[in-house]
């Protein structure tokens, strides 16, 4: 919390997530501040910054967070389960992290520990942008455990098999289903409507609802995520910056040629 006690965008995001608000976001894969600024200005509740598949280096991630992170909370999908990229994203000012391919409770427990300061975890303590370069160090460290959002991705059949144990790990704030990687892990690449893939997602859905754990989903269009919104999913990722740019430009060109 800042010195004037105004809740940060990170605190607001986690509070809204845990109380069940619908949070609408989109995916940022281009390490470009202007693209992030445009998406932020449209009014999304949050941005999914993809440092797993997107070409984000630390300096580029910091630039994105400097430009938009103080008004639109950014959850950074880290590239690996290693401590360093998680610590770096949080120290740069991310509102939280999304971790891909979390397939067991042991993995989830370790990852939560990287995100929480002692005594709840073992996050490294340093002076960085998130702490106001030291000027808000005490207040940041005091509040970070309560304000940092930690999302695990269920995107492998092993995650589906272990989902009860994963959601039971303290500090896991929500589960984001990755239907495309899940289908690939089942030998059904891209067949997200296949009955077996649908059944796997249904299992995750039912377990999370029973545990009162927030659910998220990614879809390339608003139509793709609408059925999940109707089922109670609240952490929504619709669209990708590159696809929106291509589709918008393509539609304009088609209209021009048609004229």
Catalytic residues, by residue number, are 53
In terms of Cα–Cα distance, which of 118, 110, 62 is closest to 89? 62
For residue 61, whether the previous peptide bond is cis, meaning omega lies within 30 degrees of 0, is no
Distance CA 136, CA 39 (A): 28
Helix (H) or strand (E) holding 204: helix 195-210
**CB 186 within 8 Å of CB 203:** no
Q: Which two tokens stand for residue 159?
A: 């995650």
First to last CA, the chain: 54
């Amino acid at each position: 919390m800042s010195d004037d006690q105004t809740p940060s965008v990170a605190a607001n995001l986690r509070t809204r997530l845990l109380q069940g608000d619908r949070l609408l976001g989109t995916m940022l894969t281009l390490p470009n501040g202007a693209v992030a600024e445009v998406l932020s200005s449209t009014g999304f509740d949050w941005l999914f910054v993809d440092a797993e598949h997107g070409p984000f280096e630390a300096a580029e991630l910091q630039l994105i967070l400097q430009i938009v992170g103080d008004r639109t909370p950014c959850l950074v999908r880290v590239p690996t389960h290693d401590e360093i990229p998680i610590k770096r994203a949080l120290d740069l000012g991310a509102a939280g992290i999304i971790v891909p391919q979390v397939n067991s409770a042991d993995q989830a427990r370790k990852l939560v520990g990287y995100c929480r300061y002692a005594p709840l975890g073992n996050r490294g303590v340093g002076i960085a942008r998130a702490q106001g370069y030291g000027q808000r160090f005490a207040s940041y460290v005091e509040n970070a455990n309560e304000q940092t959002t930690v999302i695990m991705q269920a995107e492998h059949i092993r995650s589906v098999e272990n989902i009860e144990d994963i959601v039971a790990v303290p500090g896991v704030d929500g589960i984001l289903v990755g239907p495309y990687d899940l289908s690939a892990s089942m030998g059904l690449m891209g067949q997200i409507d296949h009955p077996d893939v649908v059944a796997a997602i249904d299992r995750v859905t039912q377990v999370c609802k029973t545990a009162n754990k927030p659910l998220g989903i990614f879809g390339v269009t608003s139509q793709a995520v609408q059925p999940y919104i109707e089922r109670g999913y609240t952490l929504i990722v619709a669209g990708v910056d590159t696809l929106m740019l291509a589709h918008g430009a393509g539609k304009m060109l088609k209209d021009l040629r048609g004229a």
